[in-house]
A and B are shown apart, each in its own frame.
Chain A
């Protein structure tokens, strides 16, 4: 249910051009802001927690999905990643990828 609606909204964004991108950014922000408690404001991390800012969106999203499935072993992310739909993961990855 959650996933389905998100796919629909993503499709709308894609066709909506610049206005849509701004809206998508804002939708992702409510999710991405929470990640920053560990990964730093705008994904700019100090220390061993990986920085997310400017990383490749597809690689980031794939890693999140692999953490969620257990294909990649980590610590926190094997649990946290399970909290998001695949589309939410893509949106969060796009958000951080756009931070420079």
Chain B
């Protein structure tokens, strides 16, 4: 893998002479290479920004259906009432100022042979390289009875925005003494520690405002991310409020009757005052429609270029991919996007692709002044999947002082400011 470093040097030394000569024949008709990015979240917005930061000779178009992006990270603070939705919403002005053509539209057709994207508004975009960052879609009826209509009554709030506010309103409207359930799907799903952070922050709201209430986490799994840290926090901060039921203790939700307010696990029927149902997930529809997931729900990519294993010329980043040892997190999507952007520039400029190291740090709040995190550094593995680098994966320690937890909460805030600025400032 290190020979790449030396090869880079050789090509770089001759860069001035080779750029014009080595331009791929495919782009001969255009003066400048063109990249189209579909999806303006952590993955897509980051790819667009980093393409321009790496090589401003490339034309980049970002297609995003919404005028503003609401981040899933920190949206649990909105659910818990500790932060406003405005504070986690971002427009695309700075992305435009960075030279990205941001088109508010939806892609309706992709022709991977002609390298053309058709938008709902009628515009047709041609590309040399296409990047899809569609995130996840929820699998309706993956839990029997849980469809889009049911999500108006039992919100998922797993795509931030109106659903986040709906869940918040339901918690506010609940009487003291009510039961809240948070239903968690089996792996893989977006943001592995997210449901438990949410349970913690809702518990914080209940403790302060509705202290007779209770929260049950109904889990389709036996273990979860940062489990000892969350369980320590629940015991210390929210005794008697949070209960976690793993799959083996009838934790897996198998069906809901939203109108009747019933949530059924394998062995129990619950009638919570507020039900937050996080259903199973798969890659965003555009990736599924193109068959990039090969029927598996998520898409396999080359870990150095993030190019689809199925469709040459199409790259994927973020929650829609099979990420190997990386989690499905906004941080991971951002880290993948930076690698993908540099690889695309290398491919377009006929330079060797570099050997990356990817990072992830997921902060979770158990309370606004109580944070902890999971860390990891990753590289492309020999099997074509992303693997963790030994010794780099770990979490904040158990039994840390209140001051240390408060400091980590401030690290989380700082991280959020920096990563959102990376994309949107």
- A residues contacting B by CB (< 8 A) are 1-2, 4-6, 8-9, 12-13, 16, 19-20, 22-23, 26-27, 29-31, 33-41, 45-49, 75-76, 78-80, 82-84, 88
| Distance (whole angstroms) from the CB of A80 to the closest CB of chain B | 5
Q: Judging by beta carbons under 8 Å apart, are A34 and B2 in contact? A: no
In contact, A47 and B413 (Cβ under 8 angstroms): yes
Tell me whether A80 and B392 are in contact in the complex, defined as CB-CB below 8 angstroms, given that A27-B8, A49-B411 are known contacts. yes
Q: How far is the CB of B355 from chain A (nearest CB, A)?
A: 7
Residues of B within 8 A of A80 (CB): 359, 361, 375-377, 392
Q: Interface size (B, Cβ < 8 Å)?
A: 50
22 residue pairs bridging A and B, Cβ less than 8 Å apart: A1-B2, A2-B1, A19-B13, A27-B5, A27-B8, A27-B9, A29-B54, A30-B354, A34-B335, A34-B339, A37-B335, A37-B359, A40-B418, A41-B421, A45-B414, A46-B417, A47-B414, A48-B413, A75-B375, A79-B375, A80-B376, A80-B377
CA distance A75 to B378 in the complex (A): 18
Does B6 contact A12, Cβ atoms closer than 8 Å?
Answer: yes
Known: A39-B418, A47-B413, A79-B393. 19 other contacts (CB 8 A): A2-B2, A5-B2, A6-B5, A9-B6, A19-B12, A23-B12, A37-B415, A41-B53, A47-B417, A49-B414, A75-B408, A75-B411, A76-B373, A79-B375, A80-B377, A82-B389, A82-B390, A83-B357, A83-B359
Q: What 4 A-B pairs have minimum CB-CB distances, sorted nearest first? A: A47-B414, A83-B377, A5-B2, A23-B12
B410 within 8 A of A: yes
Interface set of B (CB-CB < 8 Å, partner A): 1-3, 5-6, 8-9, 12-13, 50, 53-54, 331, 334-335, 338-339, 342, 354-359, 361, 373, 375-379, 389-394, 396, 407-408, 410-411, 413-415, 417-419, 421-422
Q: Shortest distance in angstroms between B398's beta carbon and chain A's nearest beta carbon?
A: 13
- Chain B residues within an 8 Å CB radius of A78: 394
Within the complex, the shortest CB–CB distance from A84 to chain B, in Å, comes to: 7
